[in-house]
Amino acid sequence: MVSRLREIALTLHSPRRWLGLGVAMLAVLALPALNRFTPAGSALHVADHLVPLGGKFLCYALVAMAMDLVWGFTGVLSLGHAVFFALGGYAMGMYLMRSIGTAGVYRSELPDFMVFLDWKELPWYWHGFQHFGFAAAMVFLVPGLLAYVFGFFAFRSRIRGVYFSIITQALTYALMLLMFRNDTGFGGNNGLTDFKTLLGHPLAEQGTKQALYVVSAIALLLSYLLCRFVVTSKLGRVLLALRDAESRVMFCGYSPFHYKLFVWTLSAMLCGLAGALYVPQVGIINPSELQPSASIEIAIWCAVGGRGTLIGGILGALLVNGWKSWLTAAYPDLWLYFLGVLFVSVTLFLPNGILGALSWRKRSAVLALAEAREAEDKHEPSQPLPRQA
Amino acid sequence: MSTDYMLWVDDVSVSFDGFKALTNLTLALAPGELRCVIGPNGAGKTTMMDVITGKTRPDSGDVYMHGSSVVLTHLSEPEIAEHGIGRKFQRPTVFENLTVFQNLELALKAKKTAFRSLFSRLSSEGRDRIDAALGTIGLRERAEAPAGLLAHGQKQWLEIGMLLVQDPKVLLVDEPVAGMTHREMDRTAELLISLAGERTVVVVEHDMDFVRGIARNGKVTVLHEGRVLAEGTMDAVQNDPKVIEVYLGQEAGEAKRTSLGPSAETTGAPC
Ligand SMILES: Nc1ncnc2c1ncn2[C@@H]1O[C@H](COP(=O)(O)OP(=O)(O)OP(=O)(O)O)[C@@H](O)[C@H]1O
Ligand SMILES: [Mg+2]
């Protein structure tokens, strides 16, 4: 048993990489530790507000990694991944709303916004969400089911490339419009907010925030290991092959449909998890998370960090959101321009993202690859070969 | 139609926007046969392979395999591959970001469901088969190199290696020696000849010396404008006036490489 685990661990990473992973994890956990265990005046102290901010970034990192699984590895560019994130968030938000109980403004069993709309009873789809276990299952099942159904039709019809990206944008837009409506039953414009407790712990307490941060970090780590397991398996190599030469994969006897559907659904469920951890840390979920631009930003995180690496998505999400927090505070009007310039320059100058540029070995391989391609083009076989003596 | 065929292309027609790429094409391959298919550019050779492998659906006609129990034209591409049809493309297509070894691993005959791929590991028997193929295609030293870094001829070989480990009953090989040196061509010829017998092999090639070398006394099919123009031994089709006319017409044009005459002397293609 132990040797089997060891064997699996070594297929995921070399011992050196495991060490690096441990160090990175300690660095991530240092943030809430320094917040908790150092006195407020100390040079090492981390300010209270940075804990939920950091936790939020970890959720973004998880989404970016899930995105990398479908885009970086499988070549399926989704511009609707925020849908799955938001659905996970709404599922958790519904639990948090139900946990408020009668402590709301109107002292009603119903969530405040329903009282405000003069609703007399809970819509059927709100039932069960008072149980944490039920809500936690929905966090995975709802995004997973939507992804499965959507993917089933899209991949079966062999929709690819730009067409796929466009319909995912349409998906997020449609869901946003739906969620904006009051009578959909999810709080409309304002969404779900004013949460009080999670599993009995007051969300306003710093201890709860620290715990949420740690849970987010652990969720990210476990999801990373799961993704690593997927991409280091033979299935992972089929995904890369699909990305590079889909028809060749079919003639090898693999059905792209099942492979794509699997990673697509897995990716959506990871996004759901991220959304569920995000909502109690930011205290609100509303339709603005479903704006088409939200999904595009996720793709930009991946592109900036480096696709097809898992770590790249994480890195990109942390960096871009770090800049965003700083810039939107310092120069609120400039953020969108900055994001645009960032995306264009990464596409032009760092096609493999920051990770690709950092890793010299990889870069030289890419250069060699380009050279080989060039050389190949010189005697492209569609040109008649010189055959005459 | 006799029942002891391996693959039977039955009266297949394909058109693209009104342009008839194949017209009532019929072709029967005996088990273990090595069949060469020649014809000028645009004759429909690649389209024929597209139909057999499921990439293109014919407007009419069907493709049967082994005693008409399986109608290939009703199956999807992966299902056809699973029934034992392997294909090498005209333009070498290997998985450039995977290593040579991984390319072969993906092609290796195995259960190819997503579930199996996620949990199964390469058996030692599979490893041996890959290793044997690496030896045959002369890429053992490059096993860990990304396939994208291989020279053109090596990619052709890798693709042939992928066919070997896929262990198909029927191999469709589209222009296997384009971009190969003379020596590599000789080795390819040997390999294809050795594969026939156990399997059925269809080779499309423009290089007439190469075709003559592998066809020996076997049948050669000449396609022209989507139809079978002639079928017979290499000598027979070469002396067929219809064939000569088609190729002479070509000769007047640019495509010298399809020249049929014995004057065309093999020079190694630059690689
Ligand atoms: N997908 C397609 N759409 C439109 N026309 C096509 C398509 N595929 C093939 N054709 C046309 O069908 C004809 C036959 O093409 P095919 O590729 O089968 O010829 P070929 O015999 O393989 O030629 P070559 O020796 O140049 O490889 C050509 O005129 C080609 O332009
Ligand atoms: Mg062709």
pTM: 0.87
* Predicted pLDDT of residue A372: 53
Q: How confident is the model at residue A154 (pLDDT cuts 50, 70, 90)?
A: very high
Query: CB of B65 within 8 Å of any CB in chain A?
Result: no
The answer, yes or no, to whether any atom of ligand 1 lies below 6 A from the CB of B21, is yes
* Predicted pLDDT of residue A43: 87
Min Cα separation B197/chain A (Å): 22
Domain ranges of chain B: 7-91+169-267, 95-149
* A55-64, A97-106, A200-209: the lowest-pLDDT one: A97-106
Query: CB of A374 within 8 Å of any CB in chain B?
Result: no
Work out the average pLDDT over A76-97: 96
Q: Is the ipTM of this complex over 0.90?
A: no
Structure tokens at A324: 């965003």
Evaluate whether A85 touches A275 at the Cβ level (below 8 Å): yes
Q: Which residues of B touch A243 (CB under 8 A)?
A: 97
Q: CA-to-CA distance for B247 and B258, rounded, in angstroms?
A: 7
Residues in chain B: 271
Q: Which residue has its alpha carbon closest to ligand 1 atom 24?
A: B41
Q: For chains A and B, what is the number of CB pairs under 8 angstroms?
A: 131
Q: Which residues of A touch B114 (CB under 8 A)?
A: 235, 238, 258-259, 262
Does CATH place domain B7-91+169-267 in 3.40.50.300?
yes
Side chain identity at residue A299, one-letter code:
A
Q: CA-to-CA distance for A19 and A13, rounded, in angstroms?
A: 10
Q: CA-to-CA distance for B13 and B59, rounded, in angstroms?
A: 6
β B85-88/A192-193 pair status: unpaired
Beta bridge partners of B14: B22
Q: CA-to-CA distance for A13 and A341, rounded, in angstroms?
A: 35
Percentage of residues in chain A with pLDDT exceeding 90?
70
Interface with A, mutate which of B90, B152, B266 (most A CBs under 10 A): B152
Interchain CB distance below 8 Å, A241 and B53: no
* Predicted pLDDT of residue A333: 85
- Mapped onto helix, strand or coil, the DSSP state of residue B176 is coil
| The 3-state secondary structure of A259-296, one letter per residue | HHHHHHHHHHHHHHHHHHHHHHHHCEECHHHHCHHHHH
Query: CB of B120 within 8 Å of any CB in chain A?
Result: yes
pLDDT tens column, A195-235: 999 999 999 999 999 999 999 999 999 999 999 999 999 99
* A20-24, A101-105, A296-300, B48-52: the lowest-pLDDT one: A101-105
Interchain CB distance below 8 Å, A381 and B90: yes
Work out the average pLDDT over A78-82: 96
What are the φ/ψ torsions at residue B199 (nearest 5 degrees)?
-125, 170
Q: CA-to-CA distance for B263 and A55, rounded, in angstroms?
A: 76
CA B206 to ligand 1: nearest atom: 25
Q: CA-to-CA distance for B147 and B162, rounded, in angstroms?
A: 12
* Predicted pLDDT of residue B103: 96
* A173-187, A230-244, A253-267, A335-349: the lowest-pLDDT one: A335-349
Domain ranges of chain A: 1-47, 51-293
* Predicted pLDDT of residue B222: 93
What are the φ/ψ torsions at residue B16 (nearest 5 degrees)?
-115, 110
**Number of alpha helices (DSSP H) and beta strands (DSSP E) in chain B:** 10, 10
Query: CB of B262 within 8 Å of any CB in chain A?
Result: no
Residues in chain B predicted with pLDDT less than 50, given as ranges, are 1, 253-259, 261-271
Min Cα separation A9/chain B (Å): 14
Burial-class residue B126 by CB neighbours within 10 Å (0-12, 13-18, 19+). middle
β B60-65/B34-38 pair status: unpaired
Evaluate whether A272 touches A137 at the Cβ level (below 8 Å): no
Burial-class residue A108 by CB neighbours within 10 Å (0-12, 13-18, 19+). middle
Q: CA-to-CA distance for B218 and B214, rounded, in angstroms?
A: 9
Round the CA-based radius of gyration of chain B to a whole number and report it: 19
Helices (H), chain A: 2-12, 15-37, 50-68, 81-100, 112-116, 132-156, 161-180, 206-232, 234-244, 246-251, 256-282, 292-305, 311-330, 335-349, 353-358, 360-378
| CA dihedral sign, ordered B127, B129, B135, B137 | negative
- Mapped onto helix, strand or coil, the DSSP state of residue B25 is strand
Work out the average pLDDT over A336-354: 87
Round the CA-based radius of gyration of chain A to a whole number and report it: 23
Interchain CB distance below 8 Å, B95 and A241: yes
